[in-house]
Chain A
Amino acid sequence: MTDIAIPAPTAAPETESGPAAPPGGLRIPDFQIVPRAGLAIVGAVLVLLIVAIAANKLWPLMFFHVAGGAAWTIIDLFLGLVLGPIMGKMSIPARVEFTTRLMPKMLLIMPTVVTATLAAGWQLGIKTGNVLSISQNHGWVVASYIVVGVMAVLALGLLEPANIAVLVELKKPRPNPHVIEQLMKRFIYCAGILGAMQIATLVIMTKLASG
């Protein structure tokens, strides 16, 4: 497992699709797009989630929903409002190194956390009656569906494809810095919007929890 050093072309001209590689070589750490070791952990979490839903007991469902939801919210907030702006100001080599270390992990963490939160949350809502239209909190629950729906469309349509495309681009022998820049911009903006929307989630969920 070795790092790749990319010699940038000297006096690289601007192309129609943007500036060419920056001066100086771009060193890309070796990485796996999907960390294989993490797949076992994801598998274990999903099996436990199935068991929790099948058992339909309050504590395991609450655990998956609260722990997963907390992780989802905090990661989105932190990435969108803290790390995103920092990444935007990093030099390209620093951003590339950070990206190759962060994004493969995000590729496994986020879908797992979101699936656990939503699947356990739905089962929990059925068990407690919160998702039923007769519930006094029903308006808040529907509001949470809408917030999650908007976040899902943004995350699935823009953020995740950009995340994977950046990693695939970085795996190429000669990645195009402009493509990485463009995709990272999309990633950072999306993460910022999702972070802001998570504040709405916090308002709704704390209201639901306090009755």
Chain B
Amino acid sequence: MTERRLPPVTQLGMLSLALIVAGGIYLSAHLPEHVPLAPAVVLLAASAVVLGVNMFLLSRVQGFDWPRFFEVGKWSLLAYLVIAGMVEYVFLRNHLSGGPLIVLTLSLAVFAVHVPMLVGFTVARYSDDGARVAA
């Protein structure tokens, strides 16, 4: 049984989540005052870039168990879309609008994509193709 190296998908995923959580805390902590959106936008953009880098690095892995990744990832995505939808509903229920709503909605989108990706990755890296992988 051989080991092969994988990109640091979990670490990057956690970094991306930490960035959007920080942006969310920044915005929530200032309600109902109007605060500059720039810090939250920067954190969201950085999180989205990390998500993009993570996807790119993972897409380049040779022999990765993609069927398993998508099999688990799609159900996970469904579950996290429901959770993100609940949070979005609470924002809308409280008449959040404009820039903060856009930033928080996009943050939820990053969250709803990145978590299923982490779940799919963690499952698929231990595939049965004979090559156990380590990050």
Contact = CB atoms under 8 A, between A and B. Distances in A.
Interface of A: 15-17, 34, 46, 49-50, 53-54, 56, 111, 115, 118-119, 122-123, 126, 131-133, 138, 142, 145-146, 149, 152-154, 156-158, 160-162, 164-165, 168-169, 172, 176, 179, 183
Nearest to B79: A111
A53 B90 CA distance: 7
B22 A149 contact: yes
Contacts of A132: 31-32
B29 A142 contact: yes
Interface of B: 1-3, 10, 13-14, 17-18, 21-22, 24-25, 28-33, 68, 72, 75-76, 79, 82-83, 86-87, 89-90, 93-94, 111, 115, 118-119, 121-123, 126, 128, 132, 134
Contacts of B93: 53-54, 56, 123
B87 A142 contact: no
B126 A119 contact: no
A106 to B, nearest CB: 14
B90 A17 contact: no
Contacts of B24: 145, 149
Given A50-B89, A149-B22, A161-B121, A133 B132 contact: no
22 contacts: A17-B132, A50-B86, A53-B89, A53-B93, A111-B83, A119-B87, A119-B90, A123-B94, A126-B94, A131-B31, A133-B33, A138-B29, A142-B25, A146-B25, A149-B25, A152-B21, A153-B17, A157-B14, A157-B118, A158-B10, A164-B72, A164-B123
Give me the 10 closest cross-chain CB pairs, A-B, nearest first. Answer: A161-B122, A157-B14, A149-B21, A17-B132, A15-B1, A165-B122, A145-B25, A161-B119, A142-B29, A165-B123
Contact of B28 (A54, A145, A153, A168): A145
B3 A16 contact: yes
